[in-house]
Amino acid sequence: MAARLWSIRVRWRPARGLVLAWGLVLGLTAGSAAIVFGLVREPPRVAPAAEAASAPARPRIGSLKLPPRPTDFRRLSSAEREAMVETTADGLRLPKISPSGWMPWIAYSRRYAPEGPAARVGLLVINVGADETLMQRAIDELPGEVSLAFLPGTADLVRWMGRAREHGHESYLMLPVEDPAGTVERGIRPIEAAAEMVENVRRLRAVLARGEGYVGVVMPAPGPISQQDAIARPLMKEIADRGLALIEITPSSAASAMYQLTVELGVGYARSSTVLDYKLAGQGIGINLNRLLEWTSEGPAERPRHDFGVLQPDPRSIDAIVAWRKRVAGQNAVALVPIIGHFECRDACMSRMRTQPAQLRP
């Protein structure tokens, strides 16, 4: 999966027009739960490493506000958490919507101050778990606002996800899909275009049962699984019925079949084409982080921008994020928020959330 991502020359993308931004929903009441963003111009692309290494030093970025830590996570009782688990006849523990209406993608997301800046940036570290030392570093050293997407084959995954939560990180599961250039996890059968619908759903459930307390799943690369409605529909129906969210990592600006299904089925959705560690070299990651922040901060007040970038849990990536965070921590026109702050929640999604009004409160 990872190798395929780095083979794509990625360009920045603007926020979609007329999207309901979940980040602002957190600060609104049930009666005014969405704010509409307009279209903005195409942002500058992330500099490939060869360019970044020779690029002149960027001017100091003028903005980044971090939310106060007391906003972290909702406090859920053990009974409330258990109500969001279905134990199947074959012993799988799967996420589900609780009888009262709580959806895992809201219940387990990290909260942040809704009164903060409307312009937002986010960071998602993907494929966490292949290396235990790097996984521990990512959890322990990265700012809590950085979200983590774990490989489902990670040993003792439930414990690691719990540890990530204790350190302030939202958790996601990487969705294993067929990809000749991607990684293959031992004991995990990928979802395949040629497999029967029932078999793909069975494989999806096996993956979902690997972790607990996560927000949703991450589609790591575009392909037949995400582009063909006949393949994507049963998978998205399972994700929707279990109250989970979807993140797509794709360079395409065209709406995928999976995206269209999130709108139809009322699933929280986010996408990014911004690979920040593309062709690692020199200070490339730091420069790309600055460009992400610059592009976001340049948006007009009436149409605030937001975007998030993805990285691998590479030692240089971790070091670069920690150093960048220290440099910009005292600035306050753009908020660094978890990935939940970059989600869309359209009409069907908002209707589902209103079944449990507490989900609309910060």
pLDDT, tens only, 206-228 = 999 999 999 999 999 888 999 99
DSSP letter (8 states) at residue 186: T
Q: Give the pLDDT score at 346.
A: 94
**3-class SS letters over 119-179:** CEEEEEEEEECCCHHHHHHHHHHCCCCCEEEECCCCCCHHHHHHHHHHCCCCEEEECCECC
Q: In which band, very low, low, confident or very high, does the pLDDT at 125 lie, cut at 50, 70 and 90?
A: very high
How many helices (H) does the chain have, and how many strands (E)? 14, 10
Task: Name 361's Cβ contacts closer than 8 Å, sequence gap at least 6.
Answer: 26, 29
93 pairs with which residues across the strands? 87
**Whole-angstrom Cα distance, residue 133 to residue 147?**
18
Q: Give the pLDDT score at 308.
A: 96
Q: Give the pLDDT score at 280.
A: 55
Question: To the nearest whole number, what is the mean pLDDT of the chain?
Answer: 81
Note the pLDDT tens digit of each residue in 301-318: 888 899 999 999 999 999
Q: Which of 286, 291, 288 is nearest to 318 (CA)?
A: 286
Residue type, 200: N
Q: Which of 198, 197, 217 is nearest to 207 (CA)?
A: 217
Cβ burial 309-326 (10 Å sphere, 16+ → b, else e)? bbbbbbebbbebbeebbe
CA atoms 318, 322, 328, 331: torsion sign = positive
Task: Name 243's Cβ contacts closer than 8 Å, sequence gap at least 6.
Answer: 84, 95, 96, 97, 102, 103, 104, 105, 106
Q: 24 in helix, strand or coil?
A: helix
Note the pLDDT tens digit of each residue in 146-205: 999 999 999 999 999 999 999 999 999 999 998 756 666 777 899 999 999 999 999 999
Return the percent helix, strand and coil in the chain, to nearest 5. 35, 15, 50
Cβ burial 66-92 (10 Å sphere, 16+ → b, else e)? bbeeeebbbebeeeebebbbeeeeeee
Confidence (pTM): 0.81
